[in-house]
Structure 1
C-alpha cells in the first residue's frame, strides 16, 4: 500500500524507528492477498497504539536489497485490538510476493510505528470521533485495496457513535477479488440499521447496470442517491484507492455540492506515468555554477548532516547515502512516510499526493520529491 491523506484528524506525534514483530497468523483472503496478524509485546503497546486510517512501513531485506512498503493497520471487525495488515501480491519481486507465498507464523517483520493523518472528517468540527453526536452520515468510497483503512474507520465509527450512519461503496474487478467481503457482511449483521455496503464490479456483470462498471462521474450520483447520501450538513466523505478513482470521485462530489472540507482522501497508487522513474526524466537541469547544499536532518532525536550535490535527484537520495535509517517508503510522493518540516532554507517540491494545503502552509515537504533551493536546509522529521 502507498498512501496520501487529507481529512480532519487529531494532531499526531511523529514516531520513528524500527521494531521487530512476530507473525502469529497468515490468512488467505484471495488468490492475490493475505491478512497478516502480528504480536505486539507489552513493552511496545504504546508505540504501536493506532487509530483507524493510520499505516505502518514494513522494511524487508531480500537478496541483498532493501524493500519498503506501507500498509494500513486493518484489525478484524470483530477484534479491534488485533494488529493486522492486509497485503496484496503486487510486483513479482516485491514484498507482497514474498508475503503471499513465503511468509508464515513465527517469522519476524520489521515495522515502523503507526503514522498518518487519514481520518474521518468530523461534521461537528470535533477532533475526537467519540464526541460525535446526532445523525451524522459517513460515506466511504473504496477502490480495491482502499477498503483496508475504510473498513477500520467504518467499524470504529459504528461502535463509538451510536447515532451515526455509514454507507460504503467498494469498487472491485470481480466478486472473487473483493477483499474482506466476509467482514463487511459481519459488520452489516452487527449494525443492520446503520450500515450499508454496495459492491460495484468493474469486470463482472452483477445483473444490474448500477453496480456493474466503473465508479465514474455519471454513475456516482446515482449510487449515492440509492444510499440516501447526498452532500449536505452532517454528511462526510472518505475516499481511498487508485489516484484516478479518488480524483474523479472527489471532483464529482464537489461539483455535486459537497463542501471540499468534508471530503477526505487517501491515494494508494499513482498512474504509471507519474511514478518516480518518469519523474526522474523531467527533473530540472542543473543551473550553471550551482553550488552544493548542506542538508541538516533531525529524526528520532538525532541530528545528521549531508551535502546534496546540484545533480542530486531529490533530498532523500542525498540523505540515504550516509543515513539509511531516514524514514521513507514509496518514493512516489504518495505514502507520506518521508514527511518533514522545513525549519530553515527553501526547497522545491515536485508532484506529490500526501500533503494538503494546511501541511504545505505549515512548512512540510516530502524529501522523496523535494530538491534544495538554498545552500542551507534544515529538516525536522520528528515535527
Structure 2
C-alpha cells in the first residue's frame, strides 16, 4: 500500500496547482489526465485505492468543482492520474476533452474519501462497476492484487458497448499479470450478440456470482460503483442473498448536472433564522441562515466559499460534517451509511437546520 498522510495532516480545504503532464484519449467521451506531483507535495498527494480529489475549475461564469477518483497508471501506484468523462456539454469533462493539454495546470485538493476495501488478508473481493464507476474499482483491484497475495479479485463492468469500456486494455494486462487470482467480466447492455449482454438485474447477478464462484458470506466482500439504479439493484440482491450490510461498500459517481433539490418529506425549510456555526481547518465560522434557504451548505457558502464541498448532490461526501449541537434533518443522500448517520454525521448539502442554533464540525 502507499503510505498515506494521516487525515489530520491534510486540510480538506487545501488546494494546489499541479501541472498536467499528459492527456490520453481513452474513448470518444473520456480522457486520462496525468499530473506531475512536486517532491514537496508527494506526501500530501499520497493516496490509497478508492480515494478521490476535487478539481476546482475557474471560468468566466464562476467556479466548477468536480470529484474524480485517483486511478494510477499500471506500474506506478504513486502517480496521480484522473479519468475524466464528458458529462454536461458545458461542464469540466467537456473542457478536459476539448481544451486541456500538457503544460496546463489544475487546482486540486489532497486525496480523501472513505471508499475502500476492508483491511484484511485473503478472501474474495467482488467489484461491480457501471460505466465510469470502474475507475476507483480498477485502482482497488490492482492494489489488492499487488499488496495481498492471498486474496482473489473479480471485477464485473457493466457498459453499453465494448468500445466504451474504460481502462479495458489495462485491466486485460492486470488479468495477464494475476491470471490465477483476477477475473474480469464485461457485461454489455447494448450489444445483443455479446457473450454477456443486458442490464444487471437480480437474476443476472445471481448467474454472474455463480460464474465467479462468489458466495455472499464470510470471506467475500463487495464494492459497487456506478449509477444509483445499478448500485441499488445490486445491493438489494446481495442483501437478499445473504451478504451482510457491512460487507457491501458502494460509491456513486456524480451526474455533473444541476444540483437536485433536497426532498425531505414533512420538513419544509425553516421559517425562522438559524445561527449556524461551522468548524473546519481549526477555525470557527458563523453565519445566520435566512428563512427559506434550502441547506446548511447554501447558507455557509454565502460568506465562506472555502467550506468543503464539491458535487452538491449528496454523492461525493466532500461536505460531510458531524452535528455537534442542535438538530438537522438530512434529505436523500448516497455517501453516508447507517452507522455514520447514527453517529451524528450529515452531508451539509442535504441537511436543513431545525431550531435556532446548529454547530457542525467538518474536521472530525
TM-score over 0.5 for the pair: yes
In the alignment, the residues of structure 2 paired with residue 99 and residue 45 of structure 1 have an alpha-carbon distance, to the nearest angstrom, of: 24
**2:18 touches 2:105 (CA, 8 Å); kept in 1?**
yes
In 1, Cα distance between equivalents of 2:300 and 2:263: 17
Contact 1:244 1:271 in 2 (8 A): no
- The 2-side partners of 1:222 and 1:115 are apart by 35
Structure 2 residue 285 is the aligned partner of structure 1 residue 307: no
CA contact (8 A) 2:131 2:159 kept: yes
1:279 to partner: Cα distance: 3.5
Tell me which residue corresponds to 1:173. Answer: 160
The offset of 1:200, in angstroms, is: 0.4
Deviation at 1:382, TM superposition (A): 1.3
Aligned counterparts, 1:202-351, within 5 A = 202-208=189-195, 211-269=196-254, 276-279=259-262, 284-286=267-269, 290-351=271-332
In structure 2, the residue matched to 1:124 is none
3-state SS of the aligned residue for 1:149? helix
Residue-pair matches, total: 358
Offset at residue 269 of structure 1 (A): 4.1
> Does 2:111 match 1:114?
yes
1:107, CA displacement in angstroms? 0.7
| Gap regions ≥5 residues in structure 2 | none
Structure 1 gaps of 5+ residues are 1-9, 122-126
The question of whether the paired residues in 1 share the 8 Å contact of 2:126 and 2:222 is answered with: yes
Residue deviations 1:113-154, cap 9 Å, x none? 111111113xxxxx3x5xx1x4x1111100001101101110
Indicate if the aligned counterparts of 2:66 and 2:256 stay in contact, CA closer than 8 A.
Answer: no
Alignment of 1:9-48 (within 5 A): 12-13=7-8, 15-16=11-12, 17-48=14-45
Instruction: Name 1:60's counterpart in structure 2.
Output: 57
CA distance in 1, matches of 2:62, 2:94: 15
2:77 is matched with: 80
Please tell me the root mean square deviation across aligned C-alpha atoms, in Å: 2.0
Alpha-carbon distance between aligned partners in 1 of 2:313 and 2:77, rounded to the nearest angstrom:
31
1:53-95 per-position Cα deviation (integer Å, ceiling 9, x unaligned): 1111111011231111000011113221110000001101100
Q: Deviations over 1:171-224 (max 9, x none)?
A: 00001100000000010011011101000000013443xx11111111111011
How far did 1:169 drift? 0.4
Residues 182, 55 of structure 1: alpha-carbon distance in 2 compared, 3 angstrom cutoff: same
8 Å contact kept, 2:260–2:313: no
Q: Which residue of 2 is the match for residue 100 of structure 1?
A: 97
C-alpha contact (below 8 Å) 1:241/1:269 kept by paired residues? no
Question: Given the alignment of the two structures, is residue 381 of structure 1 paired with residue 351 of structure 2, yes or no?
Answer: no
How far apart are the structure 1 equivalents of 2:124 and 2:47? 23
Q: Give the distance between the partners of 1:286 and 1:228, measured in 2 at CA.
A: 49
What's 2:66 paired with?
A: 69
Give the aligned partner of residue 7 of structure 1: none
Aligned to 2:186: 199
Tell me the secondary structure at the aligned position of residue 146 of structure 1.
helix
Distance 1:110 1:282 in 2: 38
What's the CA shift string for 1:335-365, capped at 9, x where partnerless? Answer: 1011111111111111111111121122111
Deviations 1:304-353 (A, max 9, x none): 11110121111111111111111111111111011111111111111111
Question: Which has the higher mean CA deviation after the structures are superposed, 41-50 or 95-104?
Answer: 41-50
Q: Partners in 2 of 1:332 and 1:349 — Cα distance?
A: 12
Q: Give TM-score, length-normalised by structure 1.
A: 0.89
Contact (CA 8 Å) 1:270, 1:334: kept in 2 or not? no
Structure-2 separation of matches of 1:110 and 1:190: 35
**Alpha-carbon distance in 2 for matches of 1:77, 1:204:** 29
What does residue 6 of structure 1 align with? none
Contact 1:142 1:150 in 2 (8 A): yes
Alignment correspondent of 2:136: 149
Give 3-state SS (helix, strand or coil) of 1:279's partner. coil
